[in-house]
Amino acid sequence: MSEELEDFRTIDDFDVGGKTVLFRADLNSLVINGRVQMKERIEENAKTIRELSERKAKVVVLAHQGRAGDAHFLSLEQHAQLLGNLVDLKYVDDIIGPAAREAIKNMANGEVLLLDNIRILAEETLDRTPEEHAQSMFVTRLAPLADIYINDAFSVAHRSHASVVGFPKVLDAGIGRLMEHELRALERAVDSIERPCVYVLGGAKPPEVFDIMEFALEKGVDSILTAGRIGNLFLYATGKIPLKVDKDLFGSVDRARRIAEQGDRRIMYPWDVAIEVDGKREEIPLDEVKSIEPIYKMVEERCEKYEEIIKNARTRDNERTRGGIRERRICERDEKDS
């Protein structure tokens, strides 16, 4: 284990038998027509949950779906069905109330309990320090019922949310297998770039993506493939389309233009798009995009081109990711973030 990862305790460092483990999972998934789609992250979290269960831990799963106010903000009832196909569990549509606390108290060794969407609790996402979150009702009601806290949700590890920073203040804490794997991959990407090195970047938060792009370009990355709203933003910033980007992205145009100049030919942008015409999907080249047409998805041809670039950028963990996962992520993540 590297010196950096030695700073983290993993589940190997705990005797979990007979202990109640609060397990922060990442079950947040794509929702299509109100239906939660099975994602690789659910399968990966299930592996750590199963391992803890087999070691006779009482596993209480904490997870979220969407953000309050958006269309993907749902209960975890469907997630319980999907996760339940991979590991035996019980689901309770409660988080810190009597039903949840009684269910936790009555757990037997090896059992798994999934609580409802923790973002139903407004205090979960409040802008607070770890010390303040540790005093929240969320933490003070559940922590006394648990012995260990394990974080396996890499995608939210940077957030100062109650479920991420509050519990480690009052419980013995460590990371799960998925988090361990992601940290190793991040370490390789940052400290020991292998050639060829390709970054696939999308998402809805330009400042964070820009930081990564600037770092990668400085480190000598071979290619950066843009997708989703980030791809659309770069198209607009470099004058390739007349599309008016979302208002919340206006402030990012100048920085995107500077990064594009810095990256030169190493940054790849979408060269074709999918738009909605009379309620139907239509794929068109960039020179046919009009300012009134919303771009909402990556097209098949670009997916295939990006996949080919990634297939040629083999890394040491390619076998572990079963080859096609990275390729599927391009299309799925772009579809979700657009």
Which residues line the annotated binding site? 26-28, 41, 64-67, 119, 159
CB 218 within 8 A of CB 268: no
Annotated binding site for (2R)-3-phosphoglycerate: 41, 119, 159
Q: How far apart are CA 259 and CA 275, in angstroms?
A: 26
- The span from the CA of 168 to the CA of 187, in Å, is 23
d(CA 165, CA 170): 10
Bind-site residues for substrate = 26-28, 64-67
Residue 313 Cα distances to 181, 199, 201, 298, 326, angstroms: 19, 10, 15, 21, 11
* Whether the Cβ atoms of residue 197 and residue 44 lie closer than 8 Å to each other: no
Q: What is the largest CA-CA distance in the chain?
A: 63
Residue type, 286: L
